[in-house]
Amino acid sequence: MTRLLPQAVDPVLPPSVTSQARDLGPLESPLLWLAFAGAAAAVLAVTIALAHRRRVRRWGINGSIALFLIAAVTAVNSYVGYVRTPSDLGRLLQRGSGAMNVAGTLLRSTSDDPAEDSDPSTADSSSGGKSGSSPTSARPAAPSGANGSTEVLNVPDPAHGVQNGENYVVLPAGYHDPANAAKRYPVVYLIHGYPYGGPRDWLTSGSAPQTLKSLEDANVIQPMIIVSVDLTANRPSTDWECLNVPGGPQLETYLASSIVPSVDKHYRTFADRGHRALGGMSGGGFGALNIGLHHLDEFGTLLISLPYDDLNDSVGVLGGNQAAIAANTPRRYIPTMPFPQKIAVMLTVGTGAPTDVATAHRIAGSLQRRGQEVVVHAERGFNHTWHTARATLPYMLAFADQNFRTAPASS
């Protein structure tokens, strides 16, 4: 067996990188929900003082309720870290219809968020990559520049229950520069959470494009490609857990047999396991662990944020199939599974989520007893939220880079 590293180590990163990943966006600030709560309390106080006036009472009660609801929503978002900026809120509203969609479009059109300049959802339908070979196509988001770009790679796979899969490809600075036409790149695949997660989440809540740029600017990593994959099977409300579902979508197979070859076909990648990492957060982290361990021949590095190793409440998606449950429960199969090829694993957690911490160390111990290289990285005070996934993404990408650098060159 070939060692990927003499010993897996937790990267040490410059403050310029870590602060960018840990900083709160304008819509995550606790001051926002406190302001709404204060306004609601003030309106309620005025309403009580003028309760003898019927119209004031009616409008005051309705206004205070609305403000309290907004305060509650913003407080939850401040904790979870899902919506960082007005642009992120616009994307979320655009998932709805009617007035919500219009409001989302208006928010995004007036946003000064730099990420909006390379948002693939504003792209036209022009195709990229190799033409005429398959319905799979790459759609450029915006003209490429020194800061890289983001594209949509559509990978439909009806045979495996995926009618349309919009995977977001974050390209490093200089990818389209003619001077780099012969250069190839390693790839990190990231999976969103469940339910109601989607491939855009790593671009917005996870801040992947900004993190990639900050790491490159600080010369911490060599250029790499990030692919935020779509494992929703066009039903984001369903907790698929990235599984091959009996009688349903075959999401593990879709990722390993459709998305990865499509990325290798459309982009200049190192098409080997040593230059591929698979990661995710929460449900996507479970999927990355499970799929990665099932496909040691495809992925040399796993990056698991907010980990768990048991299906728990999601076991119902397998319909009681005991063989499928056993085959998709890493906690059960890691102690006895063969490792014909070594794998390097980083598990990231927030110290405010003790269950995550205990789970990460359990997974790490189980893998280490099987001779694998594992690092657990903890962010002090963070919880099982997007804040943790975003804050630890720089460490995961740097960890992947350590492994990419030691992998033998391949075409």
Q: 200-217: per-residue pLDDT in tens?
A: 999 999 999 999 999 999
Please state whether 212 falls in left (phi above 0), alpha (psi between -120 and 50) or beta: alpha
Residues 328 and 311 sit within 8 Å (Cβ to Cβ): yes
The residues pairing with 377 across neighbouring beta strands, listed in sequence order, are: 348
Q: Are 164 and 250 in contact (CB under 8 A)?
A: no
pLDDT of residue 381: 84
Structure token digits, residue 385? 């939220």
CATH top-level class of 15-20+147-406 = alpha beta
Whether residue 166 contacts residue 229, with contact meaning beta carbons closer than 8 Å, is answered with no
Per-domain residue ranges of the chain: 15-20+147-406, 30-106
- Predicted TM-score (pTM) of this structure: 0.86
Q: How far is CA 340 from CA 3, 127, 299, 351, in A?
A: 11, 39, 13, 34
Q: Looking at the predicted structure, is the pLDDT value of residue 410 above 70?
A: no
- In angstroms, the CA 270 to CA 178 distance is 18
d(CA 251, CA 270): 23
**Which whole number is the average pLDDT over 342-346?**
97
Reported as half-sphere exposure (CB side, CA atoms, 13 A), residue 170 has a value of: 26
pLDDT confidence tier of residue 110, bands split at 50, 70 and 90: low
Question: Per residue in 119-159, pLDDT tens?
Answer: 555 443 333 333 333 456 666 544 444 567 999 999 999 99
One-letter amino acid of 56:
V
pLDDT of res. 40: 83
DSSP 360: H
Is the pLDDT confidence value at 6 over 50? no
Q: How far apart are CA 125 and CA 29, in angstroms?
A: 37
Q: What is the pLDDT of residue 144?
A: 46
Q: How many CB atoms lie within 10 A of CB 235?
A: 12
Q: What is the pLDDT of residues 31-78, one digit of tens each?
A: 877 888 888 888 888 888 887 777 777 888 888 888 878 888 877 776
For residue 158, is the peptide bond before it cis, meaning its omega torsion is within 30 degrees of 0?
no
